[in-house]
Amino acid sequence: MSSNTTRTTLSTPLNGIPWLGALTLIVAGALQTLTFAPFNLWWLGPVSVFLILLVTIPAAPGQLFRAGWFTGLGLFATGASWVYISISEHGNTSIPIAILLTVLFVMGLALFHALAFWFWGKLAKESAVRRLILFPAIWILGDWLRGWLLTGFPWLYLGTAHTDGPLAGLAPLTGVHGVTFWVTVTGVAAYAAGWLFLRQRRIASGAVLGLALIPWIVAPAMNRIEWTEISDQPTTFAAMQGNIPQQVKWDPDFLRDQIVTYLTLTEDHWDTDLILWPETAIPITQDQAGKIIEHIDEQLGENSTLITGIPWYGFSDRIEDFTYHNSIMAIGNGGGMYHKQKLVPFGEYVPLQSVLRGLIGFFDLPMSSFSKGPEWQEPLKANGINVMPFICYEVAYPDFVAFNSRSAGLLLTISNDGWFGDSIGPLQHLQIARMRALETGRYMLRGTNNGVTAIINEKGQITERIPQFERATLTGEAFTASGSTPYMQTGSWPVLTLAAILIVFVRERVIPRSAG
């Protein structure tokens, strides 16, 4: 069968009408957003992949860059356009410019899918079989690239939807990328099964689909495996959600009110083992907050530790200069200071700031001059427990969290999701934190300014939470963990290696270009 015959055999109406194919890809990308919180329609993941393949398998290789871009456009326009709220409402930027920047952000992110699909076309040429075999590998490598290039945007990975899905049991073994891999394999298998069925190869069709469904059947049982050892001694926990309006967060005139808010919320909980205030709950640097820190230390019970977000200013030996860090510190029966390593572009630092500073309000946000913290920082200490903290965006990096959690009994993340208003962004952020708990087999304690503040157990399930946009205190218990999950030991490398092996061995001399 020639390559031209292959394309003709696989042609669908979606390819005969260019605008219809483009629309299908955009819809397929948008369907992926529905797999995540707050919609949680995880089963749409393979459906999305199936729709993508309907359009792309018969397409010429030169068309795949554009196909990938349309797919990414659908995903990020629906799943990440909440950045508009940060730019417009909190960035002092006019609506037209905020819309323009949001559009550029979405279009830029979509280029990751475009680049992955372009590479897919280069490797697979005209062969439908090669394209089907390579698709999961290309998708995973595209996700991986997006997770670190230009600081990375490790958001909206298909596997994250399975915090409540049947593939959750794979997460401690393979991490989120492994779950994503099997979601894409399932979509590929569904396409291949249909293709074989139409060619009267029904036994082969059933076998392909059956093999793809095995992990969906086995993974729920795997979720009952205890990869880590959970202590039977509870740690009492209290987290304060101040719900401080973003508009006054950094206003010196409201400093006293903010501190009083958190002190009042903590008033009945000073003897709790572990107390948590959110990101930059103390909105002045540690060298200015001495009296506040002393007051907190005096109020704490003998065996109590309070951990709070606080900016840090001082001389850094690493960069040999004075600098700011977005930090978190432990006070009381414990200690330690952690400086954020994964900074948010424009929110915490401004790329090309000598050019961009002053152009629009969004490039001059308060506290947007932080420096990156050093690598391999020690966990915080709290009542004899090693607590590994992650500040806001850091919890989205799967390998970063897994490797840094090895010596910790508890995980902790603080955030100020007030930047994103009542959008779906904070709910996605909570789901990402749940996936990190599931991957590491550890409790994740989450403290936020305006929600969602929660206790997440080692299975990624929420045991306690308080609603968004309320000033409240969460109380409950957490349990420390020892040992490591397989994913904590290997990270994403086994999945990435499998993807690389597929690419190396599914070459022209292995599967002829004419195979279809």
Cβ atoms of 371 and 399 closer than 8 Å: no
State how beta strands 321-332 and 305-316 pair.
antiparallel
Q: How far, CA to CA in Å, does 23 sit from each of 50, 69, 465?
A: 15, 12, 39
Choose the catalytic residue: 249, 348, 372, 392.
392
Pull the structure tokens for residue 183: 């979601």
Residues contacting 33, CB < 8 A, separation 6+: 39, 75, 78, 79, 156
C-alpha 511: how far from its chain's center?
36
Choose the catalytic residue: 340, 342, 372, 459.
340
Cβ atoms of 274 and 237 closer than 8 Å: yes
CA pair distance 31, 94, nearest whole angstrom: 30
Question: Which of 71, 141, 157, 147 minimizes the C-alpha distance to 111?
Answer: 71
CA pair distance 418, 423, nearest whole angstrom: 10
Question: Which of 275, 254, 256 minimizes the C-alpha distance to 265?
Answer: 275
Is there a catalytic annotation at residue 392?
yes
410-415 β-sheet, strand order? 334-335, 380-382, 385-391, 410-415, 444-448, 453-456, 462-466
Choose the catalytic residue: 126, 279, 394, 439.
279
* Number of neighbours of residue 179 by Cβ within 10 angstroms: 31
CA pair distance 286, 283, nearest whole angstrom: 9
Q: Which residues are catalytic?
A: 279, 340, 392
